[in-house]
Amino acid sequence: MTDKAAIRFQGARVVYPNGAVGLAGVDLDIKPGEFVVVVGSSGAGKSTLLRSVNGLTPLTSGSITVGGQPVPKKEGRELRRLRAGVGMIFQDFRITRRLSVMTNVLVGRVAHVPGWRAMLNLWPAADREIAFRALERVSIADKAWVRAGDLSGGQQQRVGIARALAQEPAIILADEPVASLDPVTTHQIMRDLVRINQELGITTLVNLHFLDLARRYGQRIIGLKAGELVYDGTADSVTQADFKNIYGRDPDAGDLLDESEAS
Amino acid sequence: MNEASRAAPGRPLRPARNWTLIIAAVGAVSLMTWWSARGIGFSLVELACNLPGGRRLLVESWPPDWSFFPRLLGPLLETLQIAVVGTVIGGILAIPIAVLAARNLTPGFLVWFVDRNFMNILRTLPDLFWAMLFAAAVGFGPIAGALALTVFTIAVISKLWSESLEAIDMAVPEAVRAAGGSWLAMLQFGAIPQALPHYVSYALYAFELNVRASMILGLVGAGGIGMVLETQRSTFEYPRVTLIVLSVLVLVLIIEKISESIRRRLV
Amino acid sequence: MTVRTTLAPAAGMGWATQVTLFIAVLFLVCAWAIDLTPAALANLPRQMATVLSFFYPADLNYGATRVWPALLESIQIAWMGTIIAAMLSLPLALLGARTLFPRIARLVKLISATARAFPEILLAIYFVPIVGLGAFAGALAIGISSVGMLTKLGSEVVESIDMGPVEAVQAAGGSRLLALRYAVVPQVLPEIVAHWLFRFELNIRASAVLGVVGAGGVGGVLLNTLRYRHFEKAAAVLLLTILVVLIIDMVSGAIRRRLLR
Ligand SMILES: Nc1ncnc2c1ncn2[C@@H]1O[C@H](COP(=O)(O)OP(=O)(O)OP(=O)(O)O)[C@@H](O)[C@H]1O
Ligand SMILES: [Mg+2]
């Protein structure tokens, strides 16, 4: 389990077909159970970094290993097996609004049950149990049979988290999970993620836009700038100068969720 | 998990499915399909009897009889003429019918009610039924076809355009009314200009449909290329039938491409 | 918006007048070509009134014995045609979506455009000799020509969906097929079924016509009654057809509105 949760980037480089550089050769070691926050200005390559871990964005060169296994560059059985152990949470939730909350969470089990069962929506009792536990962990088990689209934004993101948890993953990737939520919900979701990381020991990578959130919830902070790793340190040791280096300018109120925390 | 705040909120039971609705829907669809299949299945016997002859006919229908083509030019042209006449007359008549059927513009409930139902009834009958009716009334020939397409055009445009009219911004029409303008002035200066692009777009769409329809009107004697098709079909001259079908398709596609490119520029 | 729309006619007047003039001339030329003279037009109302007067009273006995069975057959043809088309077009609609299958989509779109180009009645002209006079030929013709439109509309629905959930299923380790099952189909099914119903409404009209070329249904009955000038019988055909189509439109429309709510 712990071994499966380590991620190692070696010269990881992503160049998009249009020539845009997503990652410009990143070397990075993430230890099992770490809670890592990735910061950087828009276009710095945060999403690319996360998406390369589960192969949604294939590397152009270099390599990434997850639990010692290299991430396959082509879609296929190998890559699906790797993804089964890596949960992903998205800024825009990406749940199917017309399906029930329960079905959305069971989607997290697709790679763990025989294909025909998943196809026919016939889930083994054990998998239903896992899905329910995942919902309980984010406190929305009471909504299990509600149409997912009828929930509030924060609740929908919890469904997204529960779906990731239902995978019983070794790693969770969260790409700006709170960017479309209000401040109160933002803190609740961030606390959920930290708690899950602590209770289950799931290695967690979170992209964040707000500096104060990064400092408050991150153990380790990674700074990206134009696809390059420009900062790597603990949340306590990060300084104003470091942020200036990452963002290329002094942080202002717009970079903070709660302006009151700026001073 | 042992914090009081998150202590088991209780797992809700999966709500029972609405089995009545599911069974009713599945049952209705299966029943309809079974009933229809049985009704149609009777012709499967004929299928077996006809297959050998039919295959021969199909083989014969290729290649098309190209030498017949010069005799198609006149009827093809007539077909387009029918479509133009039907679209223009129908397009003009559709304007008042659409206006009276638009809830926000109609002068009174009774007018609206009568007009709307008139519109719906027009829409129930297919183009060829109108063609048969007019052929019976005014005799075989292109005039019957043009009249049939007139009715068909009214049905198409008035329905679509009355919906566009209902969606317009009522600020200007109401201002015209408030300034003492008459109902007609309100239409002319406030309402119609807003929905004019839609009108043109629907008129072009109706023209496309009419060109398509005009090709087959002749099957019931209402003029155009369809009359040639009908004589060749009933004498089983399939190489010629193929030629006619091909030229019809090409003409329809050309008209559609032109009309589509105009419509795209409008919207 | 308001300013633009009120100004537009004035600014584009020259162009609009030219087009109107062109259409007017074209119309006059065409009307003249098909002998639609003012005299013929003036004569029209009287002619129509005379013929229409023959339609009364409708021969309801004929309606019950001869028209009703033919109408039912038209409904059967339309239903089977729609079922055939729905079954074939569902997978095609998915395959024809650029966003899901960029390579196959072009081919599927080409096939569906070709199927769409053929009016049912032209297809029926070929099916009648192959499978014999009657309803089966009609259902095949309707089915095939509907596949084209349903595939096109279906692909458009699929292309308009939120692709986020599709990626989410794949990110959880699901195959493309499972992504279709849990992210695409639930998003598109109501719209697609609504399109099926709408096509059924159109197919009722189409199948009513097919009898003209011997492919079953009520069209042949109308053609015969008019040919032999049995106008009261024709009136029964028209009345019953209008009634049945109105009812089917109403029911189908109500279901469609519920689906899309
Ligand atoms: N699908 C794509 N095709 C082409 N270029 C892309 C694509 N996705 C990202 N890029 C480019 O790659 C670079 C890194 O993008 P990425 O999305 O990783 O940044 P980000 O840090 O997540 O930004 P944001 O904070 O705006 O989400 C940018 O220059 C971007 O324009
Ligand atoms: Mg991003």
Give the separation between CA A132 and CA A134, rounded to whole angstroms.
Answer: 5
A36-50, A194-208, C56-70, C117-131: the lowest-pLDDT one: C117-131
Look at residues C203, C215, C188, C77 and name the one whose alpha carbon lies nearest to residue C147: C203
A65 touches A71 (CB < 8 A): yes
Binned at pLDDT 50, 70 and 90, residue B5 comes out as: very low
Does the pLDDT at position C42 exceed 80?
Answer: yes
Predicted confidence at residue C158, as pLDDT, reads 94
Residues in Cβ contact with C227 at an 8 Å cutoff, skipping those fewer than 6 apart: none
- C15 burial via Cβ count (<10 Å: 0-12, 13-18, 19+): exposed
Per-residue pLDDT, averaged over C61-70, amounts to: 88
Which amino acid would we find at residue A22?
A: G
> How many CB atoms neighbour CB C224 within 10 A?
15
Low-confidence ranges of chain A (pLDDT < 50): 1-2, 260-263
Q: Which ligand is nearest to the CA of A51?
A: 1
A23 touches A13 (CB < 8 A): yes
Minimal Cα distance from A86: which residue of C?
C172
Minimal Cα distance from C123: which residue of B?
B245
> Mind listing the pLDDT tens digit for each residue in B188-246?
888 888 898 889 989 998 998 898 888 888 888 888 888 898 888 888 888 888 899 88
User: What domains are defined for chain B?
Assistant: 2-60 (no CATH), 67-266 (1.10.3720.10)
DSSP labels, chain C: -HHHHHHHHHHTHHHHHHHHHHHHHHHHHHHHHTT--HHHHHHHHHHHHHHHHHT-S--HHHIIIIIHHHHHHHHHHHHHHHHHHHHHHHHHHHHT-TTT-HHHHHHHHHHHHHHHHS-HHHHHHHHHHHH-SSHHHHHHHHHHHHHHHHHHHHHHHHHTS--HHHHHHHHTT--HHHHIIIIIHHHHHHHHHHHHHHHHHHHHHHHHHHGGGTSSSHHHHHHHHHHTT-HHHHHHHHHHHHHHHHHHHHHHHHHHHHHH-
Give the separation between CA C59 and CA C49, rounded to whole angstroms.
Answer: 19
> Mind listing the pLDDT tens digit for each residue in B50-77?
677 777 777 877 788 888 888 888 999 9
Residues in Cβ contact with C250 at an 8 Å cutoff, skipping those fewer than 6 apart: none
The residue to mutate among A48, A225, A255, having the most atoms of ligand 1 within 8 angstroms of its beta carbon, is A48
Predicted confidence at residue B43, as pLDDT, reads 55
Give the separation between CA C187 and CA A179, rounded to whole angstroms.
Answer: 24
**Which of C226, C238, C256, C259 should be substituted to probe chain B, the one whose Cβ sees the most B Cβ atoms within 10 Å?**
C226
Half-sphere exposure of A151 (CA within 13 A, CB side): 27
Residues in Cβ contact with B266 at an 8 Å cutoff, skipping those fewer than 6 apart: B197, B200, B201
Q: CA-based angle A119:A123:A124, to the nearest 5?
A: 140
Evaluate if pTM is beyond 0.90. no
Residue given tokens 């069974």 in the structure block: B23
Is the minimum distance from the CB of A119 to ligand 1 under 6 angstroms?
Answer: no
DSSP labels, C212-240: GGTSSSHHHHHHHHHHTT-HHHHHHHHHH
Helices B70-101, B109-124: axis angle to 10 degrees equals: 150
Q: C: neighbours with 3+ CB pairs under 8 Å?
A: A, B
Give the separation between CA A6 and CA A67, rounded to whole angstroms.
Answer: 5
**Regarding predicted confidence, which is higher, B265 or A29?**
A29
> Mind listing the pLDDT tens digit for each residue in B22-42?
999 999 999 999 999 888 875
Look at residues A168, A146, A169 and name the one whose alpha carbon lies nearest to residue A156: A146
The residue to mutate among A13, A14, A16, having the most atoms of ligand 1 within 8 angstroms of its beta carbon, is A16
C99 at B interface, C-beta within 8 A: no
Chain A: give the shortest CA distance to residue C144, in Å: 29
Minimal Cα distance from A131: which residue of B?
B11
Give the separation between CA B245 and CA B83, rounded to whole angstroms.
Answer: 18
Does the pLDDT at position B251 exceed 60?
Answer: yes
Predicted confidence at residue A2, as pLDDT, reads 46
Omega cis (within 30) before B63: yes
Predicted confidence at residue A261, as pLDDT, reads 45
Across the interface, whether the CB atoms of A145 and B8 are under 8 A apart is answered: no
Half-sphere exposure of A207 (CA within 13 A, CB side): 23
Predicted confidence at residue A70, as pLDDT, reads 94
- Mean pLDDT of all residues in chain C? 87
Q: What is the largest CA-CA distance in chain B?
A: 91
Secondary structure of chain B in HEC code, one letter for each residue: CCCHHHCCCCCCCCCCCCHHHHHHHHHHHHHHHHHHHHHHHHHHHHHHHHHHHHHHHHHHCCCCCHHHCHHHHHHHHHHHHHHHHHHHHHHHHHHHHHHHHCCCCCCCHHHHHHHHHHHHHHHHCCHHHHHHHHHHHHCCCHHHHHHHHHHHHHHHHHHHHHHHHHCCCCHHHHHHHHCCCCHHHHHHHHHHHHHHHHHHHHHHHHHHHHHHHHHHHHHHCCCCHHHHHHHHHHCCCHHHHHHHHHHHHHHHHHHHHHHHHHHHHHC
A212 touches A260 (CB < 8 A): no
Is the minimum distance from the CB of A18 to ligand 1 under 6 angstroms?
Answer: yes
- Mean pLDDT of all residues in chain A? 91
- Indicate the pairing of strand A228-234 with strand A86-89: unpaired
Is the minimum distance from the CB of A43 to ligand 1 under 6 angstroms?
Answer: yes
Give the separation between CA C112 and CA B88, rounded to whole angstroms.
Answer: 31
Distance of alpha carbon A202 from its chain centroid, rounded?
11
> How many CB atoms neighbour CB A33 within 10 A?
18
| C61 φ, ψ (degrees, to nearest 5) | -65, -45
Predicted confidence at residue C91, as pLDDT, reads 94
**Which of A104, A110, A147 should be substituted to probe chain C, the one whose Cβ sees the most C Cβ atoms within 10 Å?**
A110
Residues in Cβ contact with C261 at an 8 Å cutoff, skipping those fewer than 6 apart: none
Does the pLDDT at position B265 exceed 80?
Answer: no
Domain boundaries, chain C: 15-53, 55-260
A108-117, C34-43, C64-73: the lowest-pLDDT one: C34-43
Predicted confidence at residue A260, as pLDDT, reads 44
Half-sphere exposure of A174 (CA within 13 A, CB side): 32
What count of residues does chain C have? 261
**Which of B26, B35, B36, B176 should be substituted to probe chain C, the one whose Cβ sees the most C Cβ atoms within 10 Å?**
B36
Is the minimum distance from the CB of A223 to ligand 1 under 6 angstroms?
Answer: no
Binned at pLDDT 50, 70 and 90, residue B267 comes out as: low
Comparing CB atoms, the residue among A139, A142, A199 nearest residue B12 is A142
The structure tokens listed for C59 are 């021969």
> Mind listing the pLDDT tens digit for each residue in B114-134?
999 999 999 999 989 999 999
Is the minimum distance from the CB of A40 to ligand 1 under 6 angstroms?
Answer: yes
Omega cis (within 30) before B64: no
The domain over range C55-260 is classified in CATH as 3.20.20.70: no
Look at residues B134, B155, B154 and name the one whose alpha carbon lies nearest to residue B89: B154
Predicted confidence at residue B45, as pLDDT, reads 66
- Mean pLDDT of all residues in chain B? 86
Does the pLDDT at position C129 exceed 90?
Answer: no
> Mind listing the pLDDT tens digit for each residue in C186-232?
999 999 999 999 999 999 999 988 888 877 788 889 988 988 888 99
